[in-house]
Amino acid sequence: MNEQILSFIRTLVQSGAAALAAKGLIDQQGATIVVAFVMWLIPTVWGLYVRRKTGLVASAAALPEVREIRTTPEIAAALPDPTVTAR
């Protein structure tokens, strides 16, 4: 995930937690916990998403030294990359 996107999300989460603390819905410690949890959750979910089979094949296909990837018809159909073909 792009570092700028993560920075933007971090700022949004911190602002939201600060707003909840300002309204008295959570205290400062609760705001810190919310920010820490969300900032842990986002990269974890992104990492799992990227490492699914289709994501791994797409990452490999993006490498300049890869000329062709042969895979299952389902994965080939999910990727519009011309270097990915079905077996």
State pLDDT tens for residues 6-53. 788 888 888 988 898 888 998 888 888 988 898 889 888 988 888 888
| CB 34 within 8 Å of CB 17 | yes
| Model pTM score | 0.59
Model confidence at 65, pLDDT cuts 50, 70, 90, reads very high
Does the pLDDT value for residue 1 go beyond 70?
no
Record the tokens describing residue 13, joined without a space: 């989460």
| CB 72 within 8 Å of CB 36 | no
Task: Compute the average pLDDT of residues 57-67.
Answer: 90
| CB 86 within 8 Å of CB 76 | yes
DSSP state of 30: H
